[in-house]
Amino acid sequence: MEYRLISIATLIAFYGCYFIKMFCQKKQGIQTNQIGKDKVGFVKFIEVTMKLAAVLVFTSELIGIFIGISHSSAAVRTIGALISIIGTVIFITAVYTMRDSWRAGVSQTDKTELVTNGIFQISRNPAFLGFDLLYIGILLQFFHWVLCILTVFAIIMYHLQIIYVEEPFLINAFGNEYRQYRKKVCRYIGSKR
């Protein structure tokens, strides 16, 4: 199996979706990138550190892919390829389902809708789940310790973003509607029904 090709294709699809969506929203006057903007203290620290972690993981992934570093067996690499494809599909589905409510980071000024349909019926955070699965999948295909450490760091930062930034924002913005939704759907995957 050609792991480089699969990894490059998943990265192009994943980040292509990310940046094309940003570009399309910008043309509509929507500022998608809200990471660190108008934030202070711990919230700003989390968002800026999360963004830095994402850049470092992406850079380390590219180095591993192009150099061909891997300490994984063919079976582990194949599982990694499948996980990265699943993560990309989940992310693209989440971005599509959110329509114009999608943002990178939270915006205190933009009014958006609480999205609870489609993939959001089985995950409150499918975009973050997609990031995590993409990172884990590429790590399994091109394992090296620097990438492993950066992947774990990025996943932790995404989790902190969810619990300390996203969830408090959603409670504040949507109140009881979000609390009821949170009772029904798991943070990453699964229904609580």
What DSSP letter does each residue of 25-38 carry, written as one string? Answer: HHHTT---B-TTTT
DSSP conformation class of 118: G
Query: With contact defined as beta carbons under 8 Å apart, do 137 and 82 qualify?
Result: yes
Give a yes or no: residue 178 inside a domain.
yes
Give a yes or no: residue 150 inside a domain.
yes
- The residue among 87 and 20 whose pLDDT is bigger is 87
Confidence of residue 85 (pLDDT cuts 50, 70, 90): very high
Q: Largest alpha-carbon pair distance within the chain?
A: 50
Spatial distance between the Cα atoms of 158 and 87, rounded to a whole number of angstroms: 15
- Give me the chain's average pLDDT, please: 88
- What is the structure's pLDDT at 149? 97
Residue 185, beta-bridge partner list: 191
Could you list the residue range(s) of the whole structural domain that residue 94 is in? Answer: 3-20+43-101+111-184
- What is the structure's pLDDT at 137? 97
Give a yes or no: residue 72 inside a domain.
yes
Give a yes or no: residue 127 inside a domain.
yes
Give a yes or no: residue 193 inside a domain.
no
Name the domain count of the chain. 1
Q: What burial letters (b/e) apply to 143-171, b meaning 16+ CB within 10 Å?
A: bbeebeebbebbbebbbbbbeebbbebbe
Give the position of tokens 């699965």.
133
Give a yes or no: residue 25 inside a domain.
no
- What is the structure's pLDDT at 41? 87
CA distances (Å), origin 3, targets 14, 63, 75, 95, 184? 16, 14, 12, 26, 38
State the CATH number of the domain containing residue 91. Answer: 1.20.120.1630
pLDDT tens digits, one per residue of 19-55: 888 787 778 776 666 666 777 788 889 989 999 999 9
- The residue among 188 and 99 whose pLDDT is bigger is 188
Residue whose C-alpha is closest to residue 59's, from 137, 130, 132, 151: 151
Spatial distance between the Cα atoms of 126 and 105, rounded to a whole number of angstroms: 14
- What is the structure's pLDDT at 43? 85
DSSP conformation class of 113: P
Give a yes or no: residue 176 inside a domain.
yes
- What is the structure's pLDDT at 16? 92
pLDDT tens digits, one per residue of 124-167: 999 999 999 999 999 999 999 999 999 999 999 999 999 998 89
Give a yes or no: residue 33 inside a domain.
no
What stretches of 31-172 adopt beta strand conformation (E)? Answer: none
